[in-house]
Amino acid sequence: MNNRAIGCILASLLLAATASCNENGRGPAVDKSSNQLKLTVVYDNHSGAEGLKPAWGFACVVEGLEKTILFDTGGDAPTLLANMAKLGLRPQDVEVVVLSHAHGDHTGGLRGFLEANSRVMVYLLDSFPAGLRNDARRRGADVVDVSGPTQLCAGATVTGEILGEAGIPEQSLVLRGNAGAAVVTGCAHPGIVRIVERAKALTEVEVLLALGGFHLSGDSDDSIRGVVSRLRQLGVRYAAPCHCSGDRAIELFADAYGDRFVPCVVGTVLDVGRMINGTGIEEGRGK
């Protein structure tokens, strides 16, 4: 693991936001003058601080929108809930749960999370197994089946189902601001490039940040460098690969992106909501 992936990271990104977005995700996003849109990684293979437990899987919490969102639930509830508690995040404050795809390292914490808070809307693909859907309903959650792009609240949209070459359907989370967007992925089985392309077409703005599992573990260096090159061509200014991205891919992204590489581990915190004028990103992060 690159040594830049140690510790909690605060990064200001250019996701300015002042109004609400429409149902297809294209409008401006965050209707809050404070612009306190924050993303916290609560489940990942690597930990950034003592007391935060690493485990195979992914989950993050998005705060500062109309609704607090839990994106994926990791592989087990005890780890998820313990990390959330350590990071000062209460299950009771979550109003929306999004499941990217039906693999256990992304859905395994759902049952235990719902025992702590069942008053949530759970957004999952309509191709998910009926058992998972029915279990969530039995535990008191409202379940929303997703096929196409769906707005969760002002500033947050899911891409809807994207089917990759491996035949694994997946959806990703898009956070939309006036000056750009951030994409959060679970495993990126359909391909991180394809997901960014979908998000860019959906929002009609640049995707400034791609964060999450990029599913590049085991890929050759040439293949990974090709992905890096394509993302940069698409305008992705900041990259935060984690989970199933693979340690080698994380190293190559860190080398390619330099100070625009964002370490992503349990405990990573990203401030994605502050309004910045002009080229803003460099002004906000410092050169």
pLDDT tens track for 238-282 = 999 999 999 999 999 999 999 999 999 999 998 876 422 223 343
Q: What is the domain extent for residue 232? A: 3-270
User: Could you give the 3-state DSSP secondary structure of residue 199?
Assistant: helix
Position 138 in a domain: yes
Does this model's pTM top 0.75?
yes
DSSP state of 224: H
- Listed in order, strand segments (DSSP E) in the chain are 38-43, 59-63, 69-71, 96-98, 121-125, 142-146, 150-153, 156-158, 162-163, 169-170, 173-176, 181-185, 207-213, 238-242, 269-271
The answer as to whether 280 is a domain residue is no
Residue 180 confidence (pLDDT): 85
- Give the total number of structural domains in the chain: 1
Cβ pair 184, 60 in contact under 8 A: yes
Q: What residues contact residue 248 under an 8 Å CB cut-off, 6+ apart?
A: 217, 221, 224
Question: What length does the chain have?
Answer: 287
Task: Give CA 58 to chain center in angstroms.
Answer: 9
Q: Give the CATH number of the domain where residue 236 resides.
A: 3.60.15.10
Please give the average per-residue pLDDT across 39-65, as a whole number: 96
